[in-house]
Chains A and B, each alone.
Chain A
Amino acid sequence: METLISSKVQEAHPEDPSKIGCVHPMEDVLRMDRIPHIWCPGCGIGLAVTAFSAALERANIDLDKMSIVSGIGCTGRVAGYVKLDSFHTTHGRAIAFATGIKVANPKIKVVVFSGDGDLIAIGGNHFIHAARRNIDMLVICVNNFIYAMTGGQVAPTTPLAAYATTCPFGCVEPPFNIPYIADSSGAVYVARWTTLHIRRLSNSIVEALNKKGFSVIEVISPCAQYYSRINRLGDGLDMMKFYHNNSEIRHGEDTKNLDIGFQKKIIVGKFVDRERPTYTERYNEWLSELKGAKDEPG
């Protein structure tokens, strides 16, 4: 964890190490006037934000030129805690909103940080189309297997047989395999980590931030208040122990094999890393070839 703490903090208090801790190590990239955040004890979203914040400090990107877009839900609140140009939009529309920002001004680095329900259920259409177009953006999808903000309803990511408030007898629908959707829709970078793998997650974010094209990182995260409670899986720490004992790193694994079953093994790692021209690259290439286009009305 040491590497995650900004060296700026040590530099600020060289003479008095006890002051380390008085300053939030990530206050450069967080909106400290909005802390404390709304997330529950045991929730993993804060860890995902920590990994992201640490990545921002290491990624060597002009943060003034970076926008973060979230939709609605627990993870939808992330944009509001990060000190970038932050957009907290409507449910499901984060990627479409971000597409508008990116296409209108390709110089802006765009990150979409939202939840599984927001990005894969109500926003699923924008997800696959942005991947197909290869819009240059990083999508961080925190997957907690449930609609948490609204109290624990079944989601398209809820594992088969898991309980949720709207499937009180167990989920009968097979869940989406997010890396597989991203891969088959054209994403150039696809990875999955749990909130236990915070350093690997952070490294992955740095890598994806420096990659051109539509990149997706799925972050499996505990929802201690709803998913764990309804399914009697203990608290956030118990979920972290579960991740510790049951996740397996398999870089380059075929994304077809990444289904997640209820309390079954979670395969993590970097699965896709390839090159494809981005939307803006293709558009500009086409534009430069365009000579004497038909531009008369009628």
Chain B
Amino acid sequence: MKTDPRAVKTGVYYIDGDVAAGLGALAAGCTFIGGYPITPSTEAAEAFARVAPSAGAMFIQMEDELGSIASIIGAAWAGVKSMTITSGPGYSLMMENIGLGAMLETPFVLLNIQRAGPSTGVPTKTGQADMMQSRWGSHGDYELIAIAPDSPQEMFDYTIKAFNLAERYRCPVMIMSDECVGHMTEKVVIPRAEEIEIEPRRFYTGLPDEYLPFKPDADLVPKMVKAGDGYNLYITGLIHDERGYPVKNEEFKSAYVRRLVDKIRLNKDKIIEIKEEGISGAEVIVVSYGISSRVAVRGIERAREKGIKVGNLRLVTVWPFPDEKICELAKTIKAFVVPEINYGQIVYEVDRCSHGKANVVLVPHGGSGVHNPDDIFDAIVYAAKQEGKIEGVVEYKTKLEKSIFGGGNKLKK
């Protein structure tokens, strides 16, 4: 299905990632944002709010983040594509209703422009420390999809993709961007509406009496209806059967939650997008995402100049995690190097999937800035030199950490 031409500001722009995401949401057919935008995500909301009236969309500034996410779930059930926009503290406040969204199998998109935490942290500077929160932040078992764009162009493109995935799998989709990508200004090409493919909502069209809101199709995703169409929906955050009615017994609980996780896990191959370059024959592979993948490129180039065979694996989709891919690669290489702006989150997923077959080196960063590419280069050189298997994740000591904590050039484990 093609998108609404009114919502597409076709042209070539020089805009930042936040604005690109706001315009991407419009192009994706999003007509409702309930938001309580906070630094550094505000520009996305502003861009959306400015264009929304002419595109038949609306932005409502809710009273807090709890209300924002509740309102977009309500709006989704009223039949529209919806999104909210936030960062660190607001993201934490939204956790409960992310679980509600997963439980009600509600399609919506959440844009998190990650900032340096914990707590208020450094609101205007970058971080990548919400990655595990995006996977496990709400209580209980559930699966969702998270994407990490690395440029303003991708903020536009992947916001559209996020909406498409949300509709396809009836689940919340997180855009786990960061302050650097959000505030980075680059060329963004917005194509014509007829070139933008959007996933329509999978509406049920049969008789109201026969409709079961949680009866899945073969791909484990149920069809949806909207409020106001005479279906007498019953939608509850309690564990429910196919009618939506609450049930308490173990069998139902297991069957329902199993499907919630399986609809993502079993469709993983269709969901996951990774970008790889120079993988074949590599001895070290750098695994990165978001802004860190932009910085890693320079470190990889330098290592290649030194004759080290380095592959570049970029996680565009972070959740679900590409387990099999990492597992296969681990058998053929010496080590993974994982730069991320935190003290170890995705690196442990890489380590988990390596099953001890390859060394795993973390290049950490405390936030408020990005890595020095020299650190990524040094970590690659170190990883390429190691002959034996080192148990666990090796934490590479960066220049910044050395300057703060001293300790010479020794590697810290």
Chain A positions within 8 Å of B, measured between CB atoms, are: 31, 33-34, 64-65, 67, 69, 79-80, 83-90, 92-93, 96-105, 107-108, 125-126, 129, 283, 287, 290, 293-298
Contacts and interface: CB of A to CB of B under 8 A. Distances in A.
B237 A297 contact: no
A125 B70 CA distance: 13
Given A34-B245, A100-B82, A105-B79, A90 B74 contact: no
B149 to A, nearest CB: 17
A98 B237 contact: no
Interface in B211-255: 226-238, 245-246
5 contacts: A34-B245, A64-B230, A88-B235, A90-B97, A104-B31
Interface stretch (B48-56, B300-308, B326-334): B48-56
Contact of A296 (B9, B80, B236): B9
A297 B155 CA distance: 14
Nearest to A132: B63
B232 A85 contact: yes
B15 A101 contact: no
A67 B9 contact: no
Contacts of B269: none
B227 A67 contact: yes
Interface of B: 9, 13-15, 19, 22-23, 31-32, 34, 47, 50-51, 53-54, 58, 60, 62-64, 66-68, 70-80, 82, 96-97, 100, 226-238, 245-246
A88 B237 contact: yes
B51 A89 contact: no
B223 to A, nearest CB: 16
B228 A105 contact: yes
B79 A96 contact: no
A125 B63 contact: yes
> Main SS of the interface on chain B?
mixed
Given A80-B236, A297-B19, A103 B47 contact: no
A103 B75 contact: yes
Given A87-B235, A283-B58, 10 more contacts: A64-B230, A80-B236, A98-B74, A99-B34, A100-B72, A101-B74, A104-B74, A125-B66, A296-B9, A298-B19
A107 B227 CA distance: 10
Most B CB contacts (10 A, CB to CB) among A79, A101, A102, A107 go to: A101
Given A85-B228, A85-B232, A297-B47, A100 B15 contact: no
Contacts of B63: 96, 125-126, 129
B65 to A, nearest CB: 10
A92 B69 CA distance: 13
B34 A100 contact: yes
Contact of B70 (A89, A104, A297): A89
A262 to B, nearest CB: 32
B229 A64 contact: yes
Contacts of B64: 125
B32 A93 contact: no
Contacts of A67: 78, 227-228
Q: Which 9 A-B pairs have the closest CB atoms?
A: A100-B74, A100-B71, A96-B67, A64-B230, A104-B75, A96-B70, A88-B236, A93-B70, A104-B78
Given A96-B66, A293-B54, A298-B13, A103 B232 contact: no
B50 A90 contact: no
A80 B238 CA distance: 11
A104 B82 contact: yes
A105 B227 contact: yes
Contacts of B96: 90
A296 to B, nearest CB: 7
B227 A96 contact: no
Contact of B232 (A84, A99, A125): A84
Contacts of A90: 70, 96-97, 100, 237
Contacts of B82: 100, 104
Contact of B62 (A96, A290, A293, A295): A96
Given A34-B245, A104-B32, A126-B67, A83 B50 contact: no
B163 to A, nearest CB: 15
A297 B74 contact: no
Contacts of B67: 93, 96, 99, 125-126, 129
Contact of A103 (B71, B77, B230): B71
A86 B51 contact: no
A297 B14 CA distance: 9
A88 B239 CA distance: 11
A297 B78 contact: no
B238 A88 contact: yes
A67 B226 CA distance: 11
B228 A104 contact: no
B245 to A, nearest CB: 7
A97 B228 contact: no
